[in-house]
Structure 1
Amino acid sequence: MTESADYVISACRENDVKFIRLWFTDIVGALKSFAITVEELEKALEEGMGFDGSSIEGFARIDESDMVARPDPATFQLVPWRPRESGVARMFCDIHHPDGTAFEGDPRQVLKRQLKRAADLGYTFYVSPEMEYFYFKDSGGRVPLDRGGYFDQISDAGSDLRRETVLTLEAMGIEVEYSHHEVAQSQHEIALRYTDALTMADAAMTYRLVVKEIATTNGVYATFMPKPMADQNGSGMHVHQSLFKGERNAFFDVSDEYHLSAIARGYIAGLLHNARALTLVTNQWVNSYKRLLPGFEAPVYLSWARRNRSDLIRIPEYKPGKETHTRIEYRSPDPACNPYLAFAVMLAAGLDGIENERQLPPPVEGNVFELRAEERASRGIATLPGSLIEAIEVAEQSPFLRSALGDHVFESLIANKRIEWDRYRRHITDFELAEYLPIL
């Protein structure tokens, strides 16, 4: 029994924990869990707990369904919204085959593989996602709680909900940097403090659950749907990211105009080069592409700049003496993605740019949306996929994405998304009925 496992067992005794929920995700980022009693905890920590993986999206086929969930003791936390008497704790799990080998379809393992690749090059990957979401009065409609806007205080009907959410996150060991009302009506954001990508992926999954739990407890509904209202901004997940070598930020160079090192420039070039392929992972739903439209503060064009928020990649302003804060902000992902896979493919794209010494094009400091199509073409500014089917077709032809995800996840994700697209094509929307039925 390891020291961390001993700590978990001791913490359960001290806090009267009766149930431990074992958490993991399927390929589309849906949180899955099952509970064990504290009496089974020692066995779970030593051997893992077996389960049937055949019904988990993107996991095994029926003829190879046996899986083992091995809890990670470092992720042990009490669940604050459950009763303290005979309480509940949670741990994230890595999924293995019964023979002990890592399951290639486990999103957490996909991220770990890319993190090891970075570590072999001497890097630690740090991220901080800005995950936006909406509060509605219930799940059956889209009635907002307020008509407030960016940073509004007086019109902010969700401030108490955010406060309770922040306190719950911090009780679970997740540090919060700030929270506020976002641009759209009843839209909100809670920013998590920068940390390593694996810890952050676990935190992002916890964040989504806590936001929804606190909302439900207070009689409202929270959603991370990318674009729930046609006339309002959608919800993004802008991902701030950087590579460190020990205590040194590998992205910083004092002599560069943008204070970006050659490593940072290669990383950005890799993201731009592979952006179209990785969009299926960062924006995986049919609805994701309703957000990626001009005019709603979401990026469409493959460009980068320092001050311009219309670009796909923004370089936050450097502050003297804050070298460790040098980072890039990748702006296209939405908060309904699988954070393990999203962080993995962004890191893989950046490392591809570094290892292959890809050249970074000039920045685009003007509003990209205002450039004429001919001007964008002359400057080599391509676009993100405009629909789920386009993203699927781009991804299918990408050796980079297959390598980053591994064959199992790559093929399972493509198959899942084709099914979603086929279902969407068969659906007759309210728009079509209102627009065409009276006249055709």
Structure 2
Amino acid sequence: MSSRVHVSREDLEDQIRRGEIDTVLMVFPDLQGRLVGKRTTGRFFLEQVADSGTENCDYLIACDMDNNPVPGYRFTSYEQGYGDMLARADWDTVRITPWVDRTAMIMCDLHDVDTGELVEVAPRSILRRQVDKAAAKGYLPMVASEIEFYLFKDTYDEAHDKGYRDLRPHSPWLEDYHVLQTTKDEYILGQIRRGLEAAGVPVEFSKGEAGKGQHEINLDYTTAVEMADRNSVYKNAAKEIAHLSGRSVSFMAKYDFNDTGSSCHIHSSLWSLDGETALFQGDHHDAHHMSPLFQHYLAGLIATSREFSLLWAPTINSYKRFQ
């Protein structure tokens, strides 16, 4: 596990005072994994936001893919009146985003505006509770990801204007591991890799994938909440960088039924709480070198796969990937 570029609160405040940063994104993931939140000016951030946080409407964690509030939630609804949540900075997540001029990003935890308690149904809160439960049993979950996407010649506006049909992949060729073909896309992919590294999202590598204009970027493994944050930052960065270059990307599971689907491969393991010992390695007496913990872990994944498909395949489009 590599250490990421760390920006402390003091570092950020100094950069704001020097005029190097004039915009701070206070963000959190919605139910689709997208980053939502507010841009604050550097001055206002120092004066009001750094200690107190920002208020955001609570319907933001009850929206569908089109950002429409979905009825029927106990947490928030039109009937009970949409309220606010308080987004407070997680100071371990400060990032400078070099692809957007003079801008920093901070992941936030969501709190009840009246009680100050964490919003239990917020995605980061849910994941952190699971990590805490694992820690109580002596385990540290570690995670890595491989997330695939398509790069298109169309801009986002052009794709919208033609109903997201007949999109033009950036390459007419299958690119799986192909160096020459991916070099043609490197003016985008290189920006994404370098931007992520500078923003504290360590990248192992990128490669062409089996579809036309399809790519994969692998992120270095880390703790569960940090990896979830990195995935959201990665997808947001890829879309913004593509947009700034007059291109677009899609992480849809199956953007075209006749083309290769895009996957999100998740590698997970359990370690000792100090992060020094991997707990899945068995001894030489086991034919597959699997520890009993690993065997039970894998069995649990298999036994609960039907229920967890609600999270692994959350949209109609997800099931097209299962063809």
Relative to the length of structure 2, the TM-score reads 0.84
Structure 2 match to 1:81: 99
Q: Within 1, Cα distance between the matches of 2:84 and 2:174?
A: 50
Whether the 8 Å contact between 2:208 and 2:216 is mirrored in structure 1 is yes
Whether the 8 Å contact between 1:95 and 1:103 is mirrored in structure 2 is yes
State whether structure 2 residue 303 is matched by structure 1 residue 276.
no
Structure 2 match to 1:197: 224
Q: Secondary structure at the match of 2:302?
A: helix
CA spacing shift, 1:252–1:288, aligned 2, 3 Å:
same
Structure 2 match to 1:148: 174
Q: Which residue among 7, 12, 16 is the counterpart of 1:8?
A: 12
Structure 1 match to 2:322: 292
Structure 2 match to 1:57: 62
Q: Within 2, Cα distance between the matches of 1:65 and 1:92?
A: 21
Whether the 8 Å contact between 1:20 and 1:38 is mirrored in structure 2 is yes
Q: Which residue among 27, 41, 47 is the counterpart of 2:45?
A: 41
Q: Which residue among 54, 68, 72 is the counterpart of 2:86?
A: 68
Q: Within 1, Cα distance between the matches of 2:298 and 2:18?
A: 47
Q: Secondary structure at the match of 1:155?
A: helix
Matches within 5 A, 1:86-101: 87-98=102-113, 99-101=115-117
One-letter code of the match for 1:289? Y
Deviations 1:270-315 (CA, angstroms, capped at 9, x unpaired): 100101111111111111101112xxxxxxxxxxxxxxxxxxxxxx
CA spacing shift, 1:15–1:264, aligned 2, 3 Å:
farther
How large is the Cα RMSD of the aligned pairs?
1.9
Deviation at 1:204, TM superposition (A): 0.3
Whether the 8 Å contact between 2:196 and 2:202 is mirrored in structure 1 is yes
Whether the 8 Å contact between 1:17 and 1:88 is mirrored in structure 2 is yes
Report how many aligned residue pairs link the two structures.
288
Pair member with larger Rg: 1
Matches within 5 A, 1:162-201: 162-201=189-228
- The higher relative CO (CA closer than 8 Å, separation ≥ 6) is in 2
Matches within 5 A, 1:392-403: none
Q: Within 2, Cα distance between the matches of 1:217 and 1:4?
A: 28
Structure 1 match to 2:71: none
Q: Secondary structure at the match of 1:33?
A: strand
Deviation at 1:50, TM superposition (A): 1.9
Between structures 1 and 2, the one with greater helix share? 1
Whether the 8 Å contact between 1:126 and 1:197 is mirrored in structure 2 is yes
Deviations 1:367-417 (CA, angstroms, capped at 9, x unpaired): xxxxxxxxxxxxxxxxxxxxxxxxxxxxxxxxxxxxxxxxxxxxxxxxxxx
Q: Which residue among 250, 257, 261 is the counterpart of 2:279?
A: 250
Bigger mean CA offset, 13-22 vs 268-277:
13-22
Structure 2 match to 1:18: 22
Give the fraction of aligned pairs with identical amino acids, expressed as a percent.
Answer: 31
Structure 2 match to 1:208: 235
Q: Within 1, Cα distance between the matches of 2:258 and 2:193?
A: 29
One-letter code of the match for 1:287? N
Q: Secondary structure at the match of 1:29?
A: coil
Whether the 8 Å contact between 2:24 and 2:104 is mirrored in structure 1 is yes
CA spacing shift, 1:14–1:248, aligned 2, 3 Å:
farther
Q: Within 2, Cα distance between the matches of 1:114 and 1:281?
A: 15
Structure 2 match to 1:333: none
Q: Secondary structure at the match of 1:234?
A: coil
One-letter code of the match for 1:21? L
Deviation at 1:15, TM superposition (A): 5.8
Q: Which runs of 5+ in 2 are unaligned?
A: 1-6, 64-74
Deviation at 1:164, TM superposition (A): 1.3
Deviation at 1:56, TM superposition (A): 4.5
Deviation at 1:216, TM superposition (A): 1.4
Q: Within 1, Cα distance between the matches of 2:62 and 2:169?
A: 32
Q: Within 2, Cα distance between the matches of 1:82 and 1:64?
A: 32
Q: Within 1, Cα distance between the matches of 2:15 and 2:289?
A: 45
CA spacing shift, 1:202–1:55, aligned 2, 3 Å:
closer
One-letter code of the match for 1:280? L
Q: Which residue among 252, 257, 263 is the counterpart of 1:225?
A: 252
Structure 1 match to 2:68: none
Deviation at 1:150, TM superposition (A): 1.2
CA spacing shift, 1:211–1:55, aligned 2, 3 Å:
closer
Q: Secondary structure at the match of 1:206?
A: helix
One-letter code of the match for 1:177? E
Deviation at 1:4, TM superposition (A): 4.8
Deviations 1:170-210 (CA, angstroms, capped at 9, x unpaired): 01011111111001111100100111111111110010011
Q: Which runs of 5+ in 1 are unaligned?
A: 294-440
Q: Which residue among 225, 237, 244 is the counterpart of 2:264?
A: 237
Q: Secondary structure at the match of 1:193?
A: strand
CA spacing shift, 1:128–1:46, aligned 2, 3 Å:
same
State whether structure 2 residue 56 is matched by structure 1 residue 31.
no
Deviations 1:212-232 (CA, angstroms, capped at 9, x unpaired): 112112222100011012222
Whether the 8 Å contact between 2:31 and 2:62 is mirrored in structure 1 is yes
Deviations 1:71-130 (CA, angstroms, capped at 9, x unpaired): 1111111121222xxx21110100010111010121010000000001111111111110
